[in-house]
Amino acid sequence: MSEERNNLYPIFLKTKQLEVLVIGGGFVAEEKLSFLLKSSPDAKVTIVSPMFREGTVALAKTGEVIMIEDVYRKSYLEGKYIVIATTDKPEINMEVYHDCRAQNTLVNVADNPPFCDFYMGGIVTKGNVKIAISTNGKSPTTAKRLRQFFEEVIPEKIDDLVKNLNEYRKTLKGDFEQKVEQLNEFTKNLVEK
């Protein structure tokens, strides 16, 4: 039997520019909104639901979140790049999924991996350094534990190193390949045991 492999391609999205739509106002919506705003406090988010939890309303006030008290309509997809369906009604979530697929909008149907173009994994942020952790949608708990581990072992000073290396990189002469070679040589001690 061949070993399973995570074939997902990680990217870091500028959610200030790529607007996000969350469908649903329950606990799962609140959890997804919380993860999103923790990682990207400047994210532009619209959340649509006939009702909202008190916690969701409070959370929305901490960011650039538009709350719309309404049922899902396809028109809410307009101008959105990323959609997260979190309702407790499978037929609504499937409608959102199919509408998104029809117009090539990235969609995540919460807790339903076959109906996800992307997963929201564990995230560690230390200044300019961000690490995303994925378990291929199989174990969010493992991603959470790995996140906690990395938060503890990555020093807070890592951001100073990144800023200093950026300044050093600006002083380097030569083409791209030469600069990469010099930076690799300069930083190899970071990972040597």
Of the candidates 124, 119, 120, which has an alpha carbon nearest to the alpha carbon of residue 148? 124
Amino acid in position 56: T
* Mean pLDDT in residue range 52-67: 95
Q: What is the pLDDT of residue 132?
A: 92
Sheet of strand 64-69: strand arrangement: 64-69, 44-49, 20-23, 82-85, 106-109
Average pLDDT over residues 121-143: 88
DSSP state of 154: S
The answer on pLDDT for 73 being more than 90 is yes
CA 99/CA 26 separation, integer angstroms? 21
β-pair partners for 130: 125
Of the candidates 135, 82, 77, the residue with the CA atom closest to the CA atom of residue 109: 82
Identify the pLDDT of residue 191: 60
The Cα angle at residue 83 between residues 81 and 84, in degrees rounded to 5: 155
The yes-or-no verdict on residue 177 having pLDDT over 70 is yes
Question: CA dist 122 to 55, 159, 188, Å?
Answer: 21, 20, 27
Residue 98 has, within 13 A of its CA and on its CB side, a CA count of: 7
Q: Kindly tell me if the per-residue pLDDT of 188 is higher than 80.
A: no
The yes-or-no verdict on residue 100 having pLDDT over 90 is yes
- Say if residue 189's pLDDT is above 90: no
